Amino acid sequence: MLAQKDNKSNTEYLLQVPEGQHTDIRLDKYITSFIQNASRNKVQKAIKDGYVVVNGETEKASYTMQPGDKIEIRLPKPPPPEAEPEPMDLDIVYEDEHLIIVNKSVDMVVHPAFGNWTGTLVNGLLYHTQENLSLTDEETLRPGIVHRLDKNTSGLLVVAKNDVAHKKLAKQFADKTANRTYWTIVWGNPPDSGTITGNIGRSPKDRKIMTVRPDGEGKHAVTHFKVRERFDHLSLLEVSLETGRTHQIRVHMQHEGYYVFGDITYGGNSVRYGPNTGSRKQMFNNLFARITDQMLHAKTLGIVHPATDEYMEFNSELPENFQYVLDTLRTNCKPN
């Protein structure tokens, strides 16, 4: 039995040898067999440094496991590497001495994290400015980033260049006064307008994805939408958010049966409604073969400038794949 808990500085594990199970196995080997990506050398060092206790006591790596033993493990996380400037072709929509508005491309991760230490928007912004942008104590690897977009979501982001601008912009997002609208293509025929309300939290079946959770679980989330255009079993929506939860639009749409077109994680990358035969089947097969992203784009961003107090609104063009899917639907999937 293995239980895991993560915090900022380390990862904690609790292992228990089942009663009646005769393991005849060393402590270091037993731990390594349970913890993914943990080398035996790393485990041995953790034991030697006192990060492993068995039944409340430290033991040697050669200790033989016994039935009922409880092993508590605390593996320190290595410090994240410093984000390095990298030359990138960023789509800068607006820039002054206080902030940058950037139109993020699909497939670009916003900030460095495990598996994506390079090639992120932060790396590109550091090169663009050749100086550290606004840093907060909790987000030292997110210079100036006020809000986020998923890797496969394109669109507008505001980036602060100093601490004062960062605090003022972040407050607008916290107070829900910033204006953000998204365009998305979804499966189904939603009403002309509507609001989806449902707490969002991690799925108990798969911790890598989010889902709508019962009352008392997850975080409160509200999504507003209106239909801009209808097709055969698909719709183009304009979406605005009251809250900014992880994967909020994609999860809320899935929950209501309006899967975001092309969304591999939440079921939008197959024909959900309408016939899947003949030329229609071939058309969608061709579309899915062409795209690698979901049809979700942060199209409009409105903020109050942190220095001038002037309201500024920016609008972005749809990315190439989004426009291609939209044009294809307009030509081949006119509503009945």
Q: Do domains 2-76 and 178-336 have the same CATH topology?
A: no
Q: Rounded CA gap, 249 and 253, in Å?
A: 6
Please tell me which residue in 150, 163, 263, 309 is annotated as part of the active site: 150
Residue 298 clears pLDDT 90, i.e. is over it: yes
User: Quick one: fold of 80-175?
Assistant: Pseudouridine synthase (3.30.2350)
Q: With bands split at pLDDT 50, 70 and 90, how would you rate the model's confidence at 81?
A: low
Residues near 37 by Cβ (< 8 Å), separated by ≥ 6?
none
Domain 178-336 coded CATH 3.30.2350.10: yes
Render pLDDT for 219-248 as a digit per residue (tens, 0 to 9).
999 999 999 999 999 999 999 998 889 999
Residues 267-302 as b or e (16 or more Cβ within 10 Å = b) = ebbebbebeeeeebeebbeebbeebebbbbbbbbbb
User: Quick one: fold of 2-76?
Assistant: 3.10.290
Q: With bands split at pLDDT 50, 70 and 90, how would you rate the model's confidence at 197?
A: very high
For range 325-330, the mean pLDDT: 97
Residue 116 clears pLDDT 80, i.e. is over it: no
- Vertex 218: Cα angle to 78 and 105 (nearest 5): 60
Residue corresponding to tokens 């001495």 = 97
Query: Sign of the C-alpha dihedral, residues 242, 248, 250, 253?
Result: negative
Whole-prediction pTM value?
0.73
DSSP 112: -
The verdict on whether 24 is a catalytic residue reads no
Q: Rounded CA gap, 296 and 153, in Å?
A: 6
Q: Rounded CA gap, 69 and 55, in Å?
A: 6
What are the residue ranges spanned by the domains of the chain?
A: 2-76, 80-175, 178-336
What's the chain's length in residues? 336
Three-class SS of residue 43?
helix
